[in-house]
Amino acid sequence: MRFYAVGLNHECTSLKRTESFALDAEDQEALYSNLSLSDDAEVVVLSTCNRTEAYLYGGKADVRQVEALLGQAAGEPWPAETAFRGQDEAAVRHLLQVTSGLRSVVLGERQVFAQVKTAYERAVDAGAVHSVMHRLLHTAFRTAKRVSSETTLDRGAASVSTAAVEMAREDLEAHAGPSSLSEADVALIGAGKMGRLALEALADEAPQSVTIVNRSPDRAREVAASYGGTAQAWGHRHDAVAAADLALVATDAPDPVLSPASLPAPDDGSTLLVDVAMPRNVDPAVADHPGYRVYDLDDLQAWTEDVRERRAAAVPEAESICEELLEDFVTWFFHQQALQPAIQAIRSTFETIREQEVDRHAHRTDMDREEVDRLTQSIMQKLLAVPIVRLKNVDPESIDFAQGIELLHALFAPSEDEPPGRSLPEDSDAARPTLGDAPSQCPYLTHDPAPESDETREVEQALRMSEAMPASEREESPSESSAG
């Protein structure tokens, strides 16, 4: 089928190795601009904190070129000996599972869906995606949505940072004080990686206020500016905790940075402390200090382990959904491949007729030949747009599909007994039949198409594309080759 997935990820190499091949937005734009793929090749490049991968439809030469460009961006040769490479169904399956969270470090994590979507949009903007990869990526998005809605794969917090936020939410709802995180004053003690992850997990909750305390004042101000908070000096950390409804503690200190002797009574009578550091940053004796409730990594690990077990139980069902949509995509792909000769025959026949009629009648108008060509090509494309979209939406199992394609090809392909350039006979007015009242709709339609159906949207898109697209590009139109 000519599908490939290549890349580095946490399953095949170390995080450090993957990080060395990470691509930011500017790197990806440069990679796309340097691509020189074969005519029908398409590619989407994905780079996250745990993977740098490319998904291709094309040939082996295209794969080698993408790998070389990935290495060029990293400043070193592509490590083919350790890199992942999947082909055809394995490549498609990999993309569906990645998008659904089945291949993530944290099983079922949701962020990867948005990352794949951003990668797809960037590839579209770069002109690296056409009909086949359009269809494949939208299949991946449908797969992820079904996995999310039909299984428990992404239910609950399975990382320390998200677990800290979910435990805090439940605790605040159960105790006096703010009824939700959106009403809480939050303090972050430590602005390192774990602290930033906790802030990212909090972002959707939009807390009332966020105070950042860090040993480095510049770092505190930088993180505060990024998350809409305020910075406070390290020496005031105990006061910042006492003023907060929720305090997240995540420093690299080898010893506790919060002690009961230095903590004043909470301003509002109660403060929740969540210590996500290792070793612990909160003196265990703080839990006995009036007004303070403390969770540490032991509590968080117990929480996340339960979630991981529930998520693991959902894997077979999630994989089954991936296999179902993989089969749908492969069926669609071979369906399109089978249709191409018939569609080409239809287009060729219509184009021959158009050229013959333009040659015969061009002298009857003041329009120059170029204008006449544009006009007649536009008419031809509009006439063909709807039937071709409907043809591509025929269920191959609903009819004798192979026989139907052969019939279409026979109807429109030039006959071996006739020269391809032969004109159709002239129609005379006398030979034209008298038409009665036209039916309100095609008598062969068994239903009215739904106004918002996928097919209706595809027809509308095909008509728009046929009107706007230059003739030289029409064969590459996604609307003529795929259903989104």
The DSSP code for 476 is G
Token pair of 22, please?
Answer: 């990470």
Is residue 12 flagged as an active site residue? no
Structure tokens at 81: 């000996």
Task: Give dist(CA 17, CA 20) in Å, integer.
Answer: 5
Torsion angle in degrees (nearest 10) through CA of 212, 216, 222, 223: -40
Q: Rounded to whole angstroms, how far apart are CA atoms 484 and 481?
A: 9
Nearest 5°: the CA angle 92, 93, 95 is 65
Residue with tokens 């029409």: 474
Separation between Cα atoms, residue 225 and residue 230, nearest integer Å: 7
Query: β-pairing, 51-57 with 42-47?
Result: antiparallel
Whether 83 and 14 have beta carbons less than 8 Å apart is answered as no
Residue 83 to residue 94: CA distance in whole angstroms: 14
Is 2 in contact with 58 (CB distance < 8 Å)? yes
Please pick, among 12, 49, 322, 442, the residue that the annotation labels catalytic: 49
Burial class (CB in 10 A: 0-12, 13-18, 19+), 20: middle
The Cα 177–Cα 184 span in angstroms is: 8
Q: Is 185 within 8 Å of 208 (Cβ atoms)?
A: yes
Paired tokens of 21 = 């091949």
Active site residues: 49
